[in-house]
Amino acid sequence: MNTELLGVIFTYLLTLAIAIVLGKHIARVFKGEKNWLDFMSPVERFIFRFSGIDTKREMNWKQHLYALLTINSIWLIYAFVCLISQAHLPLNPDGNPNQTPDLAFNTAISFLTNTNMQDYSGESLATYFTQHFVFMFLHFASAATGIAALLVVFRALKDKVTDKLGNFWDYFVKSITRILLPISFVIAVILAFNGMPTSYKGKDTVIGMQGDTVHVSRGPVAAMVAIKHLGTNGGGWFGANSAHPLENPNYLTNTTELVAQLIIPIALVFALGFYLNKKKFSYVIYGVMTVGTLLFLLPTIAAEVQGNPAIAKLGVSQTTGAMEGKEVRFGPLNTAYWCIMTTVTSTGSTNSMHDSAMPISGAMMMMGMMVNAFYGGCGVGFLNFYIFIIIAVFISGLMVGRTPEFFGRKIEAREMKIASLIALLHPFIILVGTALSSYVLVHFPNANWSVKPSAWLNNPGYHGFSEMLYQYSSAAANNGSGFAGLTANNLFWNISTGIVMILGRFLPIIGPVAIAGILANKKFVPESAGTLKSDTSTFGIMIYAVIIIIAALAFFPALALGPIAEHFSLK
C-alpha cells in the first residue's frame, strides 16, 4: 500500500514537473519567441502556403468562432461518411463491417468533440483506416481546436482594448506541430518499446494452453494511445481501453499514460501565467484545480483501498482493497488515481471497470465530470473554469463594494447573460438527458426497439440510475468514459448522447470566447486599492466555492438517488 501510494505521488510530481516546463514552452510558442521546435517552421509555412492562410491576418472573436465551427462541421461530415463506409475503404485486414448510421453519428460526434465515448468496440467495429484517419486525426484536431480556442481567450486577456485576437489557423496548426505531435512521438516510442503493438498485419492467432484458438486483435496501437492521452481524448484502440493488456501492458506504460493525460491541462494553466506575465494568477488557478481534484481523489482512494463492505459482511478479507473490475498489475490505489484523473480531465480512458468501483468513487468520478473544470480537457478545461471565474468575480466584486471587473474590464449584463447560460447548460443537458432516459425506462420498458429500454441497464436500482447519470455526465463533459454497465449502442443512446456531446462541446467554447472577446474590446480600468485582486488565495477560495456550490446544488438530488443511496445501502 505504501509503495502504491508512493507510486501515485511520484507520478503526480513527475506530471507537475513536466507540465511546468511544457507550460513555459507553450507560452514561448504563442508569444512567437524562440523555442527548440523552430525547426518545424518550414512544415508550418508549407501548410499555410498550401492552404492559402495568411497568419498575419488577425481575427476578432466572431471570426475565430466562425473558423472553428466551419472546420469542425467539415470534419464531422468527413468522419461520418468514413464510418458508414469503412468496410469498403482500404486498411481493413480484419474485414470489419460498416457502422450503422446512428452509431456512426455518435462516434463521429464523439471523436470530433474530444469525448470519445465508444459505443462500439475497436476490434470489431472500426478498421485500421478509420482508427488512423478518422479517430487519430480527430484526436489531434479536437485537442488542437481546444487549445486554439483557449489561446483566443489568452490573447484577449493580454492586450488592452483590442478586437484583434490573433489567427485561428496559426494557433491550430502550431498546437499540433509544436505541442501535440512532438510529445506524442516521444510517448508512442516509450509505449511501443514496452510491448504495445505497432503492426498493420491484422489479427494474430494464438493457440492457448488448452489447445483452443484465440484471435488477438492488433494494429498500430502505440501511436494512437499516445495522442489518446496527450489530447485528453480517451478513445482507445480496443474496446476495453487501457484496461486491455495490449493497450496498457505494464506499470511503466500505465504511468506514462497517466502523465500524458494530465500534462497539457496543467501546462496550459501555467502557460497562462507565463503568457500574461501573471504567474501568481496561474498559481491560484492551479491551486484551486488541485485542491478540487484532491477532494475528489481522497474519498475515492479511501473507498477503494478499504474494500467493499458488502463483501466484508460475507466474512471475506480484502487485504488488497476492492479488486472487482480492476487489473491486478495496477492495484486499487493507482486505479483510484486513474479514475479521478481521467474524469477531472476530459480524457475518459479507463484502466478498470468504473461500473465496479465503490459508490463513493462513482460519485466522485461523476462530480469530476459535473464540475468539468478541475484541470479539464485540452484547452476547454480552462474555458469552463473561465466561466466560473467570471461568476466569482461578479459576486465577489459586489461583496467588496465595486462594480466587478476582471483584468481591468467591467463585467456587465451581457457577459453575465452568457456566463449564466453556459453555467446553466451543463446541468441542463445532464439532468434532462438522465430524466428523459429514466422516463422512457419507466413508462416504455418494453418499447419495440432493437434493445428494449428494460434491457438497457445491467443493474437495477440505484446503480442502474448511476449508469444513466454517468453516461450523460460523461457525454456532457466530453469525457467519454462509461460506467460500462449500460448497453449504449442503440438508437436512443447513440442519438441522445450525440446531441448532448455536441451541445456540451461547442457552447462552452463559444461562450467563454465571446465573453473574452467582448471584454477585450471594453474600456480598460487600471487597478486601484479598491480593486479586488484576482491572484490571491482569498479569490481562489471564492472560485472554488462558486464551482462547488453550483455543481452541488445542481446535482445533489440526482446523486442522492444514485451513488449516495447506494453507498448508504451498502452499510
Residue 426: CA atoms inside 13 Å, Cβ hemisphere, count?
32
- Beta-carbon contacts of 51 under 8 Å, excluding residues fewer than 6 positions away, are 169
CA distance 130 to 112: 13
Q: Are strands 213-216 and 409-410 parallel, antiparallel or unpaired?
A: unpaired
Residue with smaller CB distance to another protein, 92 or 420: 420
Q: Give me 560's grid cell.
A: 442522492
Residues 6+ away with beta carbon under 8 Å from 302: 360
Q: Does residue 428 bind another protein (CB under 8 A)?
A: yes
Beta carbon nearer to another protein, 516 or 564: 564
* Per-residue x/- track, 483-522, another protein (CB under 8 A): ----------------------------------------
Distance CA 270, CA 282 (A): 6
> What is the DSSP secondary structure assignment for residue 164, as one 8-state letter?
-
C-beta of 53 vs 303, nearer to another protein: 303
Please identify, using beta-carbon distances, which residue of 333 and 392 lies nearer to another protein.
392
Long-range contact list for 278-287, CB < 8 A, 24+ apart?
A: 278/535, 280/535, 281/534, 281/535, 282/23, 283/535, 284/534, 284/535, 284/536, 284/537, 284/539, 284/540, 284/543, 285/382, 285/385, 285/540, 285/543, 287/537, 287/540
Q: Does residue 104 contact residue 130 with C-beta atoms inside 8 Å? A: no
Tell me the CB-side half-sphere exposure of residue 338, using CA atoms within 13 A: 33
* 533 is a contact residue toward another protein (CB under 8 A): yes
Q: Using CA atoms, how far apart are residues 392 and 195, in angstroms rounded to an integer? A: 48
Residue numbers 397-416 binding another protein by CB under 8 A: 397-403, 408, 411-413, 415-416
Task: Report the residue from 225, 360, 550, 563 that binds another protein according to the rule CB under 8 A.
Answer: 550
**Is 81 an interacting residue with respect to another protein (CB under 8 A)?**
no
Residue 339 or 423 having the CB closest to another protein: 423
| Minimum distance from residue 411 beta carbon to another protein (Å) | 7
Q: Which lies closer to another protein via its Cβ, residue 451 or residue 548? A: 548
Q: Which is nearer to another protein, 48 or 524 (CB)?
A: 524
Report which of 543, 552, 555, 553 is spatially closest to residue 269, judged by C-alpha positions: 543
Q: Is 556 in the site for another protein (CB under 8 A)?
A: yes
Region from 168-176, 260-268, 346-354, 389-397 binding another protein, contact rule CB under 8 A: 389-397
Among the residue ranges 18-26, 66-74, 181-189, 417-425, the one whose residues contact another protein (CB under 8 A): 417-425
User: Does position 396 bind another protein by CB under 8 A?
Assistant: yes
**Least distance to another protein, CB of residue 388, Å:** 13
Size of the site for another protein (CB under 8 A): 68
Shortest Cβ distance from residue 379 to another protein (Å)? 24
DSSP tag of 98: P
d(CA 451, CA 290): 41
Nearer to another protein, 196 or 411 (CB): 411
Quick one: which of 5, 436, 451, 491 contacts another protein (CB under 8 A)?
Answer: 436
- Choose between 13 and 421: whose C-beta lies nearer to another protein: 421
Cα–Cα distance for residue pair 278/534, rounded to 1 Å: 10
Binder to another protein among 18, 432, 451, 495 (CB under 8 A)? 432
Residue with cell 471475506: 316
| Cα–Cα distance, 361 to 344 (Å, whole number) | 13
| Contacts to another protein from residues 275-304, by CB under 8 A | none
Q: 146: which residues sit within 8 A by CB, 6+ positions away?
A: 114, 377, 378, 379, 380, 383, 509
Nearest approach in angstroms of CB 365 to another protein is: 19
> Among 60, 63, 438, 459, which residue interacts with another protein (rule: CB under 8 A)?
438
Q: Is 365 exposed, middle or buried (0-12, 13-18, 19+ CB in 10 A)?
A: buried
Note whether 52 binds another protein by CB under 8 A.
no
Residue among 162 and 250 whose Cβ is closer to another protein: 162
- Print the binding letters for residues 441-480 with another protein: x by CB under 8 A, - otherwise: xxx------------------x--x---------------
Euclidean distance between the first and final Cα of the chain, in Å? Answer: 24
**Can residue 73 be called a binding residue for another protein (CB under 8 A)?**
no
Enumerate binding residues for another protein (CB under 8 A).
391, 394-403, 408, 411-413, 415-417, 419-421, 423-424, 427-428, 431-432, 434-436, 438-439, 441-443, 462, 465, 523-526, 528-533, 536, 538-539, 541-542, 545, 549-550, 552-554, 556-558, 560-561, 564-565, 568-569, 571
